[in-house]
Amino acid sequence: MLSIFLDVTSINGYLAFSSTCELIDRTGVQARWLPVSLGRSGSFWLVGEDGMSDEPQSRGAQHKAARKRHLKMDALRYAHRRGLDVVPLDRSWQTELVNSAIVFASRSDAARAFLAALLPRFWRAELDIESETALTELLVNVLGHELAQGFPDYVRSDGVRELAAVTAEADEVGIIDSPAYLVDGELFFGRQHLLTLEALLTGDAVR
């Protein structure tokens, strides 16, 4: 079993999504997609937060700003190679509603399909993840009307408990970045570990 912890507002989570799906398809591993909310710590890509100002900065602040700019450029280069359109976030987002939608989709084993529809639209600035109407429409496209129509009631009932359980699991595991991968009790952060994960899942890794 592979558990994947993903913050939809994390650019690294988006950039790793398709490669993670390819890994799952190659290995045939059973996967769980678990939403997390890391807030500002989960995304270095918030407009107006590049660490620059007119005030004199310490050497540490200058280094932090330079690293953030490098991470942005690196993400853009990777997105371009993968053929992904990315619009920088213009603000912080509340993710409770979209995370509930992911958990709701997972009830029908459709979390991956829902994320595949959601992530490109969000990162092209075409989807308001704080809109219950917009998320319900997306769920209808993925699940069909009969299943998706229960989402508004779910958010106000079982969704509260189920999302809290996912959040508690992420806290217990120690999720501090997105994407994060948990397999056989080992935790990995970032897409750079996908080759290692494949070796573990296929039994080719040296322990």
pLDDT tens per residue, range 17-27 = 999 999 999 99
Q: Any idea which of 52-56, 103-107, 108-112 has the lowest mean pLDDT?
A: 52-56
Percent of the chain with pLDDT over 70: 83
Mean pLDDT of 152-176: 95
Q: What is the pLDDT of residue 77?
A: 73
| Whole-angstrom distance, CA of residue 42 vs CA of residue 79 | 18
User: At residue 44, does pLDDT exceed 70?
Assistant: no
Q: Which CATH number fits domain 2-43+93-202: 3.20.20.140, 3.40.30.10, 3.30.70.20, 3.40.50.620?
A: 3.40.30.10
Please report which confidence band the pLDDT of residue 88 belongs to, taking 50, 70 and 90 as the band edges.
Answer: confident
Please report which confidence band the pLDDT of residue 204 belongs to, taking 50, 70 and 90 as the band edges.
Answer: confident
| Whole-angstrom distance, CA of residue 165 vs CA of residue 186 | 20
Q: What is the pLDDT of residue 180?
A: 96
Mean pLDDT of 59-67: 66
Mean pLDDT, rounded, of the chain: 86
Distances 80 to 41, 51, 92 between C-alpha atoms, Å? 24, 25, 24
User: At residue 189, does pLDDT exceed 70?
Assistant: yes
For 55-107, the DSSP string reads: S---HHHHHHHHHHHHHHHHHHHHHHHTT-----BSS----HHHHHHHHHHHT
Beta bridge partners of 79: none
Side chain identity at residue 188, one-letter code: F
Q: What is the pLDDT of residue 143?
A: 97
